[in-house]
Structure 1
Amino acid sequence: MAADFSASPLTGAQQQQLRQLLDGLDRDQAHWLAGYLAGYCQGTPAATQSAPVNSDVPQSELTVLFGSQTGNAEGVAEQLVARAADKGIKARLVDLADYKPKQIRQEQWLALVTSTQGEGDPPDNALDFHEFLMGKKAPKLEHLNYSVLALGDSSYEQFCQTGKEFDERLAGLGATAMAQRVDCDVDYEDLAEQWIERLLDVMAARAGASQPLAATPGAGPVVESVYGRKHPFLATLLTNQLLSGQGSDKEVRHIEVSLEGSDLRYQPGDALAVCPINAPALVQAVLSALGFEADARVELDGEPRALADVLRLEREITLLTPPLMKQWAELAGHDELRALADNPEELRLWTAGRDFLDLITQWPVEGLEPQALVSLLRKLPPRLYSISSSQSAEEDEVHITVAAVRYHSHQRDREGVASCWLADRLVEGDQLPVYIDPNKNFSLPSDDATPIIMIGPGTGVAPFRAFMQEREERGASGDNWLIFGDRHFRSDFLYQTEWIKWRRDGLLTRLDVAFSRDQAEKRYVQHCLAEQAGEVWAWLQQGASIYVCGDAEKMAPDVHQTLLTLVSEQGEMTLAEAEDYLRQMNRDKRYQRDVY
């Protein structure tokens, strides 16, 4: 829209200069200029590298909110607060579970870092804020300057959906974006760092900044281990033991890894991130289908590498994401593939059970160069496994429980990248790159007297083994109830000996099991909950915390619905009141889920 200077006090020459300036600005630059002029008119010049702000001017405060299911969004938010202090910007870190939504009326500067879980749902700690902001009671926010960083996984159809919804709603309520929303895939660090720097530069220019500040009280220090996502620890495999029994139609393994010499620390509820290696046979099949030599030279992060090594160690080739499908459709020039890539439902059905080899075989691309291939594929992300040990008990070891993923689909045998690498190609004494992925949203109560109810079918039982080891080491007095489910009692009762010992010793107060295939009518963990409704309610009335770990697609919703019905009936509440009850439990960290 052309600027209207008909009523301005500017001279003709000044109007012409301003028009030329505005025509050359993008949206973010225009917003920066608006903030600069607002500060200039109030006698508060914006800070620039050449003109530092008078330190006597009161500093504006940046509120950094995070919605996080596993801890990644919280980690980025902590990084933002630390970088803000370096730039002389006062910032406070707030968990969305602890944030009163109406308080947003008073905010002037807001950064929101959020993940998305499942098929486009907000993380548990962001439910209240999401409901308020999307509802009719959300206020106008013309005074608010904000930016959103969205974390997600492009293999899901609703990629970064929660971040997109927050961004669009804030803009719709009149707020001004300081920096455009950034949507991050599983390899999010570089984009997150760029977003942080851009956001803080814009805020420093608009709001003013002074000398570097001390850490914000309450934010807590940002402590980074020597070993982490960018620099994993090369750990030694100590034990690779088949856990499932004879006759099981699943292969579950108990894996023990040495952390000796790493100084890595973990808490019950955290995950071990394993940096896997693609199957050599699949890598060779991809190279052959493309007509590339294994030793073809490509560049990665400024270093020359062999193409086969990059595909084996660095690039995702077992999962087809919507962005990859759209890019390949353009390169291939196939109308059929373009139509498929533009139809989310058809795309979801076609990609299920297929990998990159299927794509390049069905729709080949002429003239593709090895370097272009490397640029096209996303980074091979680590796989996260709930830790099944307590460091208090196991010291320099970490244990995980891994179900080997094997299936036949579209005329080919398939396998999970990390699970089958661990199960088939690693032996005791081999090394594997790992790091700890903390999960503050799935942790034991700080009060050891608090009763806990643990619901974990299949490998979802892993963190509860860690919980029991930890409570045993602490001498915790709180009651412990495990509800476990799997297919068959004889072959799939994972860690059966340990559970029975803890039950006999009194550490495990109750043990209920559901084996779905041992009778004509299938039986699941939610059936145990329903059958013990009165006892579950009694535990809740005594302040018990509930933990759910495992499948997010069916198990977790079924368990939630059973809990909802249970609370409604036992507490004589409406379903809406029961939902509020569970939501309050979530706020109080008494209802925690680690679902995937």
Structure 2
Amino acid sequence: MIDLDAFSPETRRLIAAGAVAGVYGLFCGGIALRETLRRRAARREVQALSQGAGEPVLVAYASQTGFAEELANATAKALSDAGAPVTLRELGAVTAPDLTGRALFVVSTTGEGDAPDPARAFIRDVMKDGADLSALRYGVLALGDSSYAHVCAFGRSLDAWLAHSGAAPLFDRVEVDDGDPGALRHWQGQLSLLTGVTDAPDWSRPAYGRWTLAERRLLNPGGPGGEAWHIRLTPPDPSVGDGAAWQAGDILEIGPRNDPALPHREYSIASLPSDGGVELIVRLTARADGQPGLGSGWLCQAAAVGGLIDARVRVNRGFHAPDPIRPLILIGSGTGLAGLRAHLKARAALGAHRNWLVFGERTSAHDFFHRAEIQGWKAAGVLERLDLAFSRDQTERTYVQHRLRAAAEVLRQWVTDGAAIYVCGSLEGMSRDVHAALVEVLGTETVERLTDEGLYRRDVY
């Protein structure tokens, strides 16, 4: 036992700093070990898929929130189980020489017709005029949501480009509207024709767990932009409950029980497993007829506190944390704070304090969600920098993109220092303007490099 009182105050501070550094090192080592084990398991799975006789089938996926990746994995497993060797690859890692033989593309569309961010390299480097794909036979599974005007837009444009470049379709494009099980069965049917295996079980979404609505709290009484609610859900048994493990960046998928026809709704998780439950920030929306939205209305009004909610955690690797040694710039507005909050909680636990939060909402008086927590992080040094943009607190509207432009020199320096940039929130109302500001400040080449390296990531909706 060391008697710290025997040392000078300066020595005691050095000992304390060394202890903190040691704990931080253990945290970082634990994360690195977990990631190494995950990658080894993934490599083993890929190697197993590649076994088999005959020409390999390329299964390429482009996913924004993880669902396309899930379906690509299921597609690859179905082919492998039938004896076909498979190459499973993210679309951004596919090159022109890969596009021969047979290929299946599982691609989502984000927002109003955009391709997922990980597909940018493929679009820029491979989808060019004059490509000769006459040696390719292909199929496309296009994921989308008909509540948006340009449903399945990226899948449709990919299909059109493949055909225009001379590739031969194995079958007509299959479109999946909001996880429609009938469309997924049709895709499975096409796989059966390819493999000759007709007795594979139907796919379905993994079963929802029964979570308890433990807390519901209005975050912005009197806010001019509509109600935003803090929602807390706990699994039946936090230690072994279904879906009780997640990390910052993951998504909670909820099946609202007030309308069985609605497949699911997705929300960015704002908490860590160590908090004992999943926390969300949910905006109560209204439909065209003035009635509450089916998903938000269920969570914010209809479901009883203490009642059960059908939910499951879905892994969203596209928004998982960067190396904790990297500086992290977190940008969001409104309920987009949810995904950023989880990352800040994780960084605080790791002692990673090179963090910059840029957050915007309507008014400081009503809409500064989790004000005390954020100000506490700033006071404790978890946040090295905090920029706030409350658009209606002054005559001229000010948004997060304006804060980024005003801090252009600082932004460029953070990126030079290796910072990752994570954006969470509305695609139409915020993300596009933030992207334009980043391009203006950093340049197109830098933004594309950050995207290719996985250092510019978005969880937008």
Q: Under a length normalisation based on structure 1, what TM-score does the superposition of the two structures give?
A: 0.64
- SS of aligned partner of 1:240: strand
**Which residue is equivalent to 1:398?**
278
**Which residue is equivalent to 1:86?**
81
Say which of 255, 263, 284 aligns to 1:275. Answer: 255
Q: Deviations over 1:75-105 (max 9, x none)?
A: 1110011111111111011111222x32235
**Which residue is equivalent to 1:314?**
260
Q: Which has the larger radius of gyration?
A: 1
Q: Which runs of 5 or more structure 1 residues have no equivalent in the other structure?
A: 1-55, 210-223, 279-312, 316-379, 568-577
Q: Deviations over 1:130-149 (max 9, x none)?
A: 344542252x1221111111
Q: Partners in 2 of 1:247 and 1:121 — Cα distance? A: 31
Letter in 2 for 1:400: L
Letter in 1 for 2:242: D
Kept after mapping to 2: 8 A contact 1:178/1:199: no
Kept after mapping to 1: 8 A contact 2:257/2:310: no
Kept after mapping to 2: 8 A contact 1:389/1:466: yes
**Which residue is equivalent to 1:437?**
314
Q: Residues 247 and 263 (structure 1 numbering): CA distance in 2 closer, same or farther, change over 3 Å?
A: closer
Q: Partners in 1 of 2:74 and 2:353 — Cα distance? A: 36
Letter in 2 for 1:425: A
**Which residue is equivalent to 1:108?**
101
Q: Deviations over 1:370-393 (max 9, x none)?
A: xxxxxxxxxx121111111011x2
Residues 1:449 and 2:325 are matched in the alignment: yes
Q: Partners in 2 of 1:155 and 1:492 — Cα distance? A: 27
Q: Residues 473 and 65 (structure 1 numbering): CA distance in 2 closer, same or farther, change over 3 Å?
A: same
Aligned residues: 403
- SS of aligned partner of 2:348: helix
Residues 1:383 and 2:268 are matched in the alignment: no
Kept after mapping to 1: 8 A contact 2:353/2:383: no
Q: 1:40-51 maps to which residues of 2 (within 5 A)?
A: none
**Which residue is equivalent to 1:232?**
208
Residues 1:427 and 2:304 are matched in the alignment: yes
Q: Deviations over 1:514-543 (max 9, x none)?
A: 001111111100011001100011000011
- SS of aligned partner of 2:428: coil
- SS of aligned partner of 1:257: strand
- SS of aligned partner of 1:441: helix
Kept after mapping to 2: 8 A contact 1:179/1:199: no
What is the CA distance between 1:472 and its match in structure 2? Answer: 2.1
- SS of aligned partner of 1:432: strand
**Which residue is equivalent to 2:230?**
254
- SS of aligned partner of 2:145: coil
Q: Deviations over 1:163-221 (max 9, x none)?
A: 1121122122221222221011003344234314423532x46xxx9xxxxxxxxxxxx
Say which of 46, 59, 63 aligns to 2:58. Answer: 63
Q: Partners in 1 of 2:290 and 2:57 — Cα distance? A: 52
Q: Partners in 1 of 2:117 and 2:179 — Cα distance? A: 22
Letter in 2 for 1:558: D
**Which residue is equivalent to 2:408?**
533
Q: 1:402-551 maps to which residues of 2 (within 5 A)?
A: 402-406=282-286, 413-445=290-322, 447-475=323-351, 477-551=352-426
**Which residue is equivalent to 1:263?**
242
**RCO greater where, 1 or 2, for CA within 8 Å and sep 6 or more?**
1
What is the CA distance between 1:437 and its match in structure 2? Answer: 2.3
Q: Under a length normalisation based on structure 2, what TM-score does the superposition of the two structures give?
A: 0.82
Q: Residues 135 and 247 (structure 1 numbering): CA distance in 2 closer, same or farther, change over 3 Å?
A: closer
Q: Partners in 1 of 2:166 and 2:353 — Cα distance? A: 49
Kept after mapping to 1: 8 A contact 2:319/2:458: yes
Q: Which runs of 5 or more structure 2 residues have no equivalent in the other structure?
A: 1-50, 198-202
Q: Partners in 1 of 2:333 and 2:400 — Cα distance? A: 7
Q: Residues 188 and 537 (structure 1 numbering): CA distance in 2 closer, same or farther, change over 3 Å?
A: same
- SS of aligned partner of 2:325: coil
Q: Partners in 1 of 2:353 and 2:189 — Cα distance? A: 46
Kept after mapping to 2: 8 A contact 1:147/1:199: no
Kept after mapping to 2: 8 A contact 1:387/1:399: yes
Letter in 2 for 1:113: V
